[in-house]
Every structure is written in C-alpha cells, then in structure tokens.
Amino acid sequence: MVEGVSDAFGVRGRRVIAQLVQQLPPQTRFVTEGLLEQVGVLDRGIREVEERRGEVLEVDEDLRRLMTLLGVGFILAAVIWTEVGDVSRFPGPEQLAAYAGVVPRVHESGGRRRYGPLRTDANRYLKWAFVEAANVCCAGAPRCPPSSGP
C-alpha cells in the first residue's frame, strides 16, 4: 500500500492509481483504465442502491442500535432485525446464539467433552450475518478497534 493512502479506491487512492497507470505500457494501461472504469460503474450502482434502501426499510431505533455492534452496518442490521424478530422470545443469549447457529456442536462421552463445527440446523441467514460481522472485525476494519481486554 502507498503511504498516506488507507483506501485504494478513495479520493487520494484513485489519484495515486491514476498516476501509476500512466507509467504502464500502452496496452496494459488501456486494459487497466477499462477495469477502473468498471469499478466506477459498480461504485455508482452501489450508491444508487444505498440511496434507495430507505424506500424498502425505514431506519428506526432498533436498526440504529444494531448498527452500533462491531462489524454491523445497515445490511447486516436489517438481516439480524428481520430474522430475530422480537428478541424477548428467547429465554437468554445462549438460546439466541443456538438459534443463529453460532455455537459449536458438543460431543460428550466418558467425561470428555469435544467441540465440533458450528451447527448447520440453524437460521442460515442469521448465521451468515453474524459470521460476516465477525469477518469484518477480524479483517481489522477501522470500525472494529481491538478489544482492550475484559
């Protein structure tokens, strides 16, 4: 990464890319400029979808509260909100975690306990949302600062 540029496709990053592209051989520059143009088209499309999302789902206090969770933006908050529904239907956090499929299978025999993979018989959309939020945090996104400990 270039020093002083945290987002390669941000304003400063695009300026650096534009300068570097000019140093490429003609055919490579032509292809690279075409690919960068496609990135721009996709960015515009994403912005349009994000602008219209308010028409589909109104951002209320519940969604805002969910979006304060580490790694959770509007889309993941909307998925969590629609899939969980009324959280009071779960007796406790353990039951919600089991419903979401984010707890491992437990195999016990002869006094030994072994943990297996995550459960598959769960709400797959909710599980996806929580796994995506965890991936964002693991990737070191600025929105997910490292924990200062317990």
8 A C-beta contact, residue 97 and residue 103:
yes
Tell me the pLDDT band of 142, cut-offs 50, 70 and 90: low
Residues 60-90 have pLDDT tens digits of: 898 899 999 988 988 899 999 999 989 999 9
49 or 91, which is more confident? 91
Whether 150 shows a pLDDT value over 50: the answer reads no
- In degrees and rounded to multiples of 5, residue 91 shows phi and psi of -60, -30
Q: 9 is written with which tokens?
A: 């496709």
- pLDDT of amino acid 12: 85
Tell me the pLDDT band of 144, cut-offs 50, 70 and 90: low
- In degrees and rounded to multiples of 5, residue 106 shows phi and psi of -120, 130
Dihedral sign for Cα atoms in the order 132, 135, 141, 146: positive
Q: Which amino acid is at 138?
A: C
